Structure 1
Amino acid sequence: MRAVVIEQYGVLPVVQEVPQPEPAPGGVVLKVEATGLCRSDWHGWMGHDPDIVLPHVPGHELAGTIAAVGPGVQGWQVGDRVTTPFICACGVCEQCREGNHQVCPNQLQPGFNYWGSFAEYVALPYASVNLVRLPLELDFDTAAGLGCRFATSFRAVRQVGRVAADENVVIFGCGGVGLSAVMIAAALGARVIAVDTNPEALKLARSYGAADTLQASLETVDEIRDLTGGGAHVTMDALGSNDIVQQALLALRPRGRHLQVGLLPSGVQLDVGRLIGQELQWLGSHGMPAHAYPEMLNLVATGNLKPADLITRTITLEQTPAALAALSTTTPAGVTIINP
């Protein structure tokens, strides 16, 4: 099969012919119909993830059709249209038994723990726990975008952040995660303020439901306080930046909630005194388990959420290495989907 192969961190990967994967016991192999290009893939390419072993195939947002079924798999067959969370949980540990698959200590992540979906085929473990059947009306490009950015934002905003109608919610960073969060928070009835350096991203944010947009600057915190009458109820770092974290915490009103979704490979400094004195909440959110997908898929089916609108570019496998490298200097507006 054809796949994008990383042979050295930070060096442009190439498309190569590599062996097609075989399904493990309890797992399946998918023919990849669509896969998303995500900043997490860039972190992996740069060597920020200790689980990656070179040579490596990235890619963790995906949708496709089952091409092969491993021993012990029940309820799934070749040809089924499916997607999966980027966190493939074991299904049997304490956290999984309690429904917290997104923090399973035995989790396997395609594109990180093993070869991922920037390829024509990808293996998925623990099929009974992690596969999500796709409605016939949901196309593969849209479904691929759900697996990481949209699902992550849905759980962060609705389930972890508990965003409610009429709350002031500030989203820092309007890439795929941030724009998904804008759309979801607006659909919940919140007043959304989007912050980014990219005017095109801010234009998209407004079209997805942001009431206000702010070009990131040294005055951002003051502007947020003016717009919200004293500070946001909820802030979210959708990019992963120490500077953003500082602004987000300063922009909160007392007893506000901060959602950290963007990765922080270089760490972060926190004003713990402010966290305590203002009774602020720092809330981490990491993906969403397969069993939580039905609520999100129902809202997509009814038109309350329109993740297809987030897709701004589709590219080929051959165009993927350059698009991955471009994330070193810019974050493109919207979601990029790869069609292998």
Structure 2
Amino acid sequence: MRAVVFEEAGEPMEVQEVDRPEADADEIVVETEACGVCRSDWHAWQGDWDWIGVAPTPGLVFGHEPVGTVKEVGEDVSELSVGDRVCVPFNLSDGTCRYCKQGRANICERVVPMGFVPFQPGAFAEEFPVRNADHNAIKIPDGVDPVDVAGLGCRFATAFHGLVHRVDVTPGDWVAVHGCGGVGLSAIHVADALGANVIGVDLGEDKLDKAVELGADATVNVTEVEDVPQAVKAHTPSSRGVEVSVDALGVAETCRNSVNSLAKGGQNLQIGLTTSEEEGEVSLPVDNIVMEEREFVGSFGMPPHEYEEIFSMMAQDKIDPGKIVSETVSLEEVPEVIASMDDYGTVGIPVCDEF
């Protein structure tokens, strides 16, 4: 079958012929209908994240935001059948550890990041396998366009889980989102659906325009202000700051700006992971965090059982992940799209839907 194959960090990827996956007893094999092209793919392609154990090896197939149709079912799989349409989280879990049993499968003790390790290939391919399928594969409601949900496996799901389950967003709160890429725009859309007043922060007018389209009430262009946190606070009542601030990028500057945009008692939601420049370490204003009782909260993916909440809100027209999809591309175009993320040029979520 055809797949986009990684050979070496920073070297161009290309479509190659690889072996078709076969389902082990607890697995399914899915024919890919759509797969989001994520900035996390760019990070892995660049060789980032070795400090957290992500080290792609030659021959790896990327792609961790897939939707598709079940083509093969392992003998121990009981909840899925050939012909079912499914999506999966990128952080595949075993369903049995203490965190899975607490409903926090996204931080499973034996979590496997799809498309980042050789024993769990991704979905920039005609077909892909899913381990522990009864636990990890989520059936898609009838009538849902696969392209519209191709970003759920990572960006939209992480933003949704973070804003709905990791911090406290209530109607009327002020929420700032620093970085209006795919996950940042998803966060803006979700925060708006929750009734918050949303401020989008970025350096690109095209991304800020998209933020407004998705529900932002105000924007801050970081190239036009001297003090980003103060510019954010200026949009809030009495310039007090925001109740929730989201760092959706993960560089040191956006992380500190996000924390410093908070009101007293506010919560920083950290979604963005760092680059090779930070290597996972960012200095923060700890004394202010202590004295103003701010919180620093992480969000990593989403457990499978929360997908039903997204599908329910979609059915009620409260959210529409498809609004964040910026373009559809073919499998042959995926390497070019990933490489173009060097300059943060993509707006929204590109989706591969031609295999």
Letter in 1 for 2:261: A
Structure 2 counterpart of 1:270, from 256, 260, 284? 284
1:322 is the counterpart of 2:330: no
Query: What amino acid maps onto 2:303 in structure 1?
Result: P
- Pick one of 125, 128, 147 that aligns with 1:122: 128
**TM-superposed deviation, 1:319:** 0.7
Letter in 1 for 2:128: V
What is the CA–CA distance in structure 1 between the aligned matches of 2:102 and 2:189, rounded to whole Å? Answer: 29
SS in 2 for 1:145: coil
How far residue 100 of structure 1 moved from its aligned partner, in angstroms, is 0.8
Match runs of 1:199-238 below 5 Å: 199-217=205-223, 218-228=226-236, 229-238=239-248
Name the counterpart of 2:101: 97
What's the TM-score once normalised by structure 2's chain length?
0.94
Report deviation, 1:71.
2.1
Q: C-alpha distance in 1, partners of 2:214/2:160?
A: 14
Secondary structure in 2 matching 1:102: helix
Aligned to 1:85: 89
Alignment-derived partner of residue 191 in structure 1? 197
Kindly tell me the number of residue pairs found equivalent between the two proteins. Answer: 340
Structure-1 residue corresponding to 2:262: 252
Check conservation: 2:135, 2:304, Cα contact below 8 A.
yes
Separation (CA, whole Å) in 1 of partners of 2:78 and 2:299? 31
Query: Deviation string for 1:40-81 (max 9, x for gaps)?
Result: 111111112433322211110000000111120002111100
Q: Letter of the 1:33 partner, please give it.
A: E
Stretches of structure 1 lacking an aligned partner (at least 5 in a row): none
Offset at residue 330 of structure 1 (A): 2.0
Residue identity opposite 1:225 in structure 2: K
Q: Is the 8 A contact 1:258 1:282 kept in 2?
A: yes
Give the 5 Å matches for 1:158-197: 158-197=164-203
SS in 2 for 1:318: helix
| Deviation sequence 1:4-32 (CA, Å, 0-9, x none) | 11101011111101111111220111101
Contact 1:240 1:261 in 2 (8 A): yes
Q: Which residue pairs with 1:287 in the alignment?
A: 301
Q: Cα distance, 1:253 vs. partner?
A: 1.1
C-alpha separation in 2, matches of 1:253 and 1:291: 32
* TM-score normalised by length of structure 1: 0.98
- Cα deviation, 1:75-133, whole Å, max 9, x if unaligned, reads 21111001011111100111111111010011112111231111111111001111111
Cα offset, 1:39, TM superposition: 0.7
CA contact (8 A) 1:37 1:336 kept: yes
How far apart are 1:278 and its partner, in Å? 1.2
Residue equivalent to 1:27: 27
Alpha-carbon distance, 1:302 to partner:
1.1
Q: Work out the CA distance in 2 between the residues paired with 1:330 and 1:226.
A: 27
CA distance in 1, matches of 2:288, 2:25: 50
1:158 & 1:216 partners in 2: Cα distance? 27
**In structure 2, how many angstroms separate the alpha carbons of the residues matched to 1:198 and 1:314?**
21
1:63 aligns with 2:74: no
CA distance in 2, matches of 1:75, 1:102: 20
Q: What is the RMSD of the two structures over their aligned residues, measured on CA atoms?
A: 1.1
User: For the Cα contact (< 8 Å) 2:7–2:57, is it kept in 1?
Assistant: no
- Measure the CA separation in 2 of the matches of 1:26 and 1:316: 30
Instruction: State the match for 2:80 in structure 1.
Output: 76
Partner of 1:303: 317
Letter in 2 for 1:84: V
Percent identity between matched residues is: 36
Task: Name the aligned partner's letter for residue 325 of structure 2.
Answer: I
Name the stretch that deviates more: 41-50 or 187-196.
41-50
Cα distance in 2 for partners of 1:121, 1:270 equals: 43
Contact kept, 8 Å, 1:197 with 1:215, in 2: the verdict is yes
User: Contact 2:30 / 2:71 at 8 angstroms: preserved in 1?
Assistant: yes
Output the amino acid matched with 1:166. Answer: G
Match of 2:48 in 1: 48
Counterpart residue type for residue 207 of structure 1: E
* Cα deviations by residue, 1:150-202 (Å, 9 ceiling, x for unpaired): 11111111111121111110001111111111011011110000011111111
SS class of match (1:294): helix
Contact 1:108 1:125 in 2 (8 A): no
